[in-house]
Amino acid sequence: MLAYVFWHWRRPDVGAASYVERLIAFHEALRRSAPTGFRASATFRAGGAPWVESDESYEDWYVTDGSAALDALNDASVSGNCQAPHDAAARAAAGGTAGLYRLRLGSGDVARAREGRWLAKPPGMTYRDFYARLEPLVESADFGLWGRQMTLGPTPEFCLMSPESAALPKALPVLVRPLEPLWPKGS
């Protein structure tokens, strides 16, 4: 699985409720017009982070079968039934940045996440050892470890998406981003 992750923030003259309505309308339209290879999307309200230009940000996850699905997702997002809701949300955004992440361990069900823990592999640690340290945590809960692809994105290399808080192994510095689910409803 591959996820396109988009962080964005609203213009100061756009109210939070209006912005959220626009986001939900877009995600609903995308679900109804799902392109080939598209699995699911989720959007969250979150706080600040070093890679966003606002104390309030939004984090969208678009989960696909892989890189071959990205062109279809891009085209579907800005055309047909998705064009008007996409354009309405885009007009309300002050800015954004994005990245690509491959599922490395665990669950790809990002809609259940309530926290994103952004971390990097410590210098000198092998990837094999890094994954081995996180595997027991990921397997014991419905967590998913996502790894940035080709340095496409502004974040640390990994994100552990989880439906609950949990302590990470020592020696793994982490930035925790609480996530307020906005879409899908009931997630």
With a pLDDT cut of 90, the percent of the chain lying above it is 91
Q: What are the DSSP E strand ranges found in 20-150?
A: 38-46, 57-64, 93-106, 115-119, 144-148
pTM over 0.85: yes
Q: What is the pLDDT of residue 129?
A: 96
**pLDDT tens digits for range 68-86:** 999 999 999 999 999 999 9
Name, in order, each residue with C-beta under 8 angstroms of 6's C-beta and a sequence gap of 6 or more.
59, 60, 62, 96, 97, 98
User: Taking the CB of residue 125, how many other CB atoms lie within 10 A of it?
Assistant: 14
Q: Give the pLDDT score at 140.
A: 78
Indicate whether 108 pLDDT > 90: yes
pLDDT per position as a tens digit, 6-32: 999 999 999 999 999 999 999 999 999
User: Is 70 exceeded by the pLDDT of residue 187?
Assistant: no
What is the overall mean pLDDT for the chain?
A: 96
Residue 146 CA to residue 111 CA, distance in Å, equals 14
Return the higher-pLDDT residue of 187 and 113: 113
In percent, how much of the chain has pLDDT > 70? 99
The 10s digit of each residue's pLDDT in 141-163 is: 889 999 999 999 999 999 999 99
Tell me how many domains the chain contains: 1
Burial 144-181 (b: 16+ CB within 10 A, else e): bbbbbeeeebebbbbbbbbbeeeeeeeebebeebebeb
Residue 137 belongs to a domain with what CATH number?
A: 3.30.70.100
Domain that residue 48 falls in: 2-183
Q: How far apart are CA 145 and CA 38, in angstroms?
A: 19
Answer whether residue 166 shows pLDDT above 90: no
